[in-house]
């Protein structure tokens, strides 16, 4: 019997090596959105004005918003900035509430712009390094699920993890389908940053055109720790595998999944800006960003019984390396700013069709699998219009500026209620010293709702109230 079991185990292991990895982790819509969602800018003045900057863009922020704005710079400009991000998540799970947060501090902007001397018009080149996405996230949950379990879900989906951990019998039947306490944490970290090479020229009087060429790189790590515990003694007298007496009295199932991305990519952005006496109008076209993702997925875990028996998972059977491209859609932006004496008002709108997000050039994933993901993206995502509003008031004679802004990024998912839209309020201050050194600080507070499923659909769901806080400090020297 023992040898039969051993033979079966080997056979199952071989099969698992071939087909199982995709059962524990599968690429999907949320992966594409991770690189598709619009992010906050790394420019303090712009952020203070709600990132409503396509129609203003007369500093290093042009590398993020509208490259044509570089054409408005008449002095050499050197700027640098630091950012602090905090991600908070208030989670409701099975009637329990949990708070969790994560933060990151980084150098998020370094830029140099060089205007060429002109008899008329403008020609400016710039190079900048800036953070383009922040992947900081956090989630914690803890609650009693009396109607389902991940063990049962994995087992039903064909995964060998429950079997390997002696949570099923040799016929792949498990009693552990409900009445377990579920808890865990999911944290995300990482960023993408870009080296941006920009050029802008005044093509016609007061009409500026510009181009950004971005070379991006970055990393993303997602660490998912998941526990199922029999806190009530519901399975105290149950053998999960009758052939193995040590499996009496299930206590804990632990699964740790770690996802690592190594990201590279490039993209182009075209911008135009027309300047009137006291107003500016800008339009931008963000060409699709092509990100190449090298993904490593690692799994570890164990189970624990009150007999002292605690088998560990051979993670190498479930770990995986794949590679693919994620291509984001076009983004069409338009904005304007108007100067009313010492008060600048700005607004902008950006059209993004998230259903055009795509996985491409997959290595390690079948074509049919990639097609299914892309079809799912088309079926579940939608086009949205992001709105940004901003204001800046310069206190005459003091060199002090006060800023405020608001931005709204609708959820990319079809059918999501408005509470799932990302909202931000922003504010900021700027101070100019000696006509040459500008100090800026900005703060943004964002909030929206989201949800996530540990497995299945709406059987182990975390309802999340997310808040994001970002502080940017930057200084600009013009000479």
Partner 1 sequence: MKKHITKILLIPFIGLLFSGCYTALWMPDGDYDSEDIQANEGENFYPMNDYGDYYYFYNRPWWYSAVQTAQAKNNRSKDLNANTGQGGFKRDGRSTSSTGQTSASLPTVSAPAPTVSGSTTTNTSNSSTNRAGDSNSSGNKSNPVRNNDGNRNTSGR
Which positions touch partner 1 (CB under 8 A)? 58, 72, 74-76, 115-123, 201-205, 207, 209, 270, 272, 275, 277-278, 280, 285, 330, 332, 339, 341-342, 394, 396-399, 432, 435-436, 438, 478-479
Q: Of 332 and 387, which has the nearer Cβ to partner 1? A: 332
CA distances from 403 to 73, 77, 130, 406, 455 (A): 21, 22, 22, 11, 44
Please, what is the minimum distance in Å from the beta carbon of residue 138 to partner 1? Answer: 37
Q: Shortest distance, CB of residue 43 to partner 1, whole angstroms?
A: 16
Dist. CA 121–CA 174, nearest whole Å: 75
Q: State which residue, 218 or 282, has the beta carbon closest to partner 1.
A: 282
Residue 331 Cβ vs partner 1, minimum distance, rounded to whole Å: 11
Q: Which is nearer to partner 1, 69 or 152 (CB)?
A: 69
**Comparison of 95 and 396: residue with beta carbon closer to partner 1:** 396
Cα–Cα dist 231/180, whole Å: 7
DSSP 413: B
Q: Which is nearer to partner 1, 215 or 330 (CB)?
A: 330
As measured in angstroms, the least distance from the Cβ of 334 to partner 1 is: 12
Structure tokens at 54: 């396509």
Rounded distance between C-alpha atoms, residue 215 and residue 291, angstroms: 10
Give the nearer residue to partner 1 in terms of CB position, either 72 or 384.
72
Nearer to partner 1, 107 or 351 (CB): 351
The count of C-alpha atoms lying within 13 angstroms of the C-alpha of 49, restricted to the half-sphere facing its C-beta, is 29
Q: Which of residues 95 and 117 has its CB atom nearest to partner 1 in the complex?
A: 117
Distance of alpha carbon 104 from the chain centroid: 14
Report in angstroms how near the CB of residue 445 gets to partner 1 at its nearest: 27
Of residues 303 and 474, the one with the C-beta less far from partner 1: 474
Smallest gap, in angstroms, from Cβ of residue 83 to partner 1?
23
* Token pair for 464: 């999340």
CB 179 within 8 A of CB 233: no
Which residues contact residue 371 at a Cβ distance below 8 angstroms, ignoring those fewer than 6 apart? none
Whichever of 136 and 394 has its CB closer to partner 1, that residue is 394
Stated as kind and residue range, the H or E segment containing 262 is strand 250-275
Task: Compute the least distance from the CB of residue 194 to partner 1, in Å.
Answer: 21
Distance from C-alpha of 97 to C-alpha of 86, rounded to nearest angstrom? 19
Closest approach, Cβ 344 to partner 1, in A, equals 9
Q: How far apart are CB 168 and partner 1 at their closest, in Å? A: 50
Give me the least distance between CB of 298 and partner 1, in Å please. 38
Q: How far apart are CA 292 and CA 383, in angstroms?
A: 23
Contact between 89 and 137 under an 8 Å Cβ cutoff? The reply is yes
The secondary structure of residue 17, as a DSSP letter, is: H
Q: Is 115 or 405 the residue whose CB approaches partner 1 more closely?
A: 115
**Contacting residues for 379 by C-beta, under 8 A, at least 6 apart:** none
**Nearer to partner 1 among residue 95 and residue 479 (C-beta):** 479
Query: Any idea what DSSP says for residue 239?
Result: B
10 alpha carbon, distance to own chain's centre = 39
Question: Least distance to partner 1 from the beta carbon of 337, Å?
Answer: 9
167-192 in b/e form (b: 16+ CB < 10 A) is: bbbbeeebbbeebbbbbbbbbbbbbb
φ/ψ (deg, to 5) at 115 = -80, 135
Backbone angles phi, psi at 188, to 5 degrees: -125, 145
**Integer Cα distance of 436 and 432 in angstroms:** 7
Q: What is the dihedral of CA 271, 277, 278, 280, to 10 degrees?
A: -10
* DSSP tag of 58: -
CB of 327 to partner 1, least distance (A): 12
């Amino acid at each position: 019997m023992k040898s039969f079991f051993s033979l079966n185990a080997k056979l199952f292991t071989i099969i698992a090596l071939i087909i199982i990895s995709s059962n524990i982790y599968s690429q999907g819509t949320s992966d594409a959105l991770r690189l598709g969602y619009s992010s906050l800018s790394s420019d303090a003045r712009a952020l203070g004005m709600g990132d409503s900057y396509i129609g203003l863009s007369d500093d290093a922020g042009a590398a993020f918003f509208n490259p044509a704005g570089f054409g408005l710079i008449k002095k050499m400009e050197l700027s640098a900035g630091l950012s602090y991000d905090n991600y908070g998540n208030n989670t409701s799970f099975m009637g329990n509430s949990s708070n969790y947060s994560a933060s990151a501090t980084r150098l998020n902007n370094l830029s140099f712009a060089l205007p060429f001397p002109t008899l008329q018009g403008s020609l400016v080149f710039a190079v900048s390094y800036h953070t383009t996405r922040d992947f900081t996230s956090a989630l914690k949950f803890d609650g009693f699920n009396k109607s389902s379990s991940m063990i049962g879900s994995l087992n039903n989906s064909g995964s060998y993890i429950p079997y390997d951990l002696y949570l099923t019998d040799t016929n792949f039947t498990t009693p552990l389908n409900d009445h377990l306490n579920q808890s865990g944490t999911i944290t995300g970290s990482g960023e993408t940053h870009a080296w941006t090479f920009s050029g802008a020229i005044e093509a016609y009087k007061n009409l500026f055109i510009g181009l950004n060429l971005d070379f991006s790189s970055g990393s993303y790590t997602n660490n998912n720790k998941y526990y199922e515990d029999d806190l009530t003694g519901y399975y105290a007298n149950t053998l999960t595998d009758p052939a193995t007496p040590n499996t009496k009295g299930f206590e804990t199932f632990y699964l740790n999944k770690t996802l690592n991305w190594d990201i590279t990519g490039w993209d182009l952005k075209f911008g135009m800006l027309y300047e009137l006496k006291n107003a500016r109008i800008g339009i931008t076209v963000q060409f699709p960003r092509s990100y190449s993702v090298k993904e490593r997925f690692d799994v570890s875990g164990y189970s624990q019984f009150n007999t002292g028996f605690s088998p560990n998972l051979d993670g190498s059977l479930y770990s995986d390396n794949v590679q693919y491209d994620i291509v984001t859609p076009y983004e069409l932006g338009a904005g304007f700013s108007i100067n009313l004496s010492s008060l600048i008002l700005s607004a902008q709108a950006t059209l993004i069709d998230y259903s055009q997000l795509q996985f491409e050039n997959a290595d390690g994933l079948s074509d049919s699998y990639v097609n299914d993901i892309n079809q799912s993206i088309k079926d579940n995502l939608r086009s949205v219009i992001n709105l940004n509003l901003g204001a800046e008031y310069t206190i005459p004679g003091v060199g002090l500026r006060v800023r405020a802004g608001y931005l709204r990024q609708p959820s990319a998912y079809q059918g999501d209620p408005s509470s799932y839209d990302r909202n931000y309020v922003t504010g900021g201050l700027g101070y100019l010293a000696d006509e040459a050194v500008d100090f800026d600080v900005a703060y943004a507070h964002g909030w929206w709702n989201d949800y996530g499923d540990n497995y299945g659909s709406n059987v182990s769901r975390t309802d999340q109230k997310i808040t994001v806080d970002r502080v940017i400090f930057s200084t600009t020297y013009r000479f």
